Amino acid sequence: MGSREGEKMDIPPTLDRPGSRSAVLQRLLSFRYAAAGIWAMLRSQQNAWIHAAATAAVLVAGLTFRINPLEWCVVTLAIIAVWTAEALNTAFEFLADVASPGFHPLVKKAKDVAAGAVLVAAFGAAVAGVLVFAPRIAGLLNG
From 5, 7, 86, 93, active-site residue: 86
Least confident of 9-18, 38-47, 97-106: 9-18
Domain positions in the chain: 1-44, 46-141
- Under DSSP, the state recorded for 102 is S
pLDDT of residue 16: 53
- Report the 10 Å Cβ neighbour count for 31: 9
What average pLDDT does the segment 16-33 reach?
A: 80
Q: What's the whole-number average pLDDT of the chain?
A: 90
Q: What's the rounded Cα separation, in Å, for the pair 51 and 41?
A: 11
Chain centroid offset of residue 51 CA: 10
Tens of pLDDT along 75-105? 999 999 999 999 999 999 999 999 999 999 9
Task: Name the class of domain 46-141.
Answer: mainly alpha
5 is catalytic: no
Residue 10 clears pLDDT 80, i.e. is over it: no
Q: Which amino acid is at 70?
A: L
Q: What's the rounded Cα separation, in Å, for the pair 54 and 111?
A: 23
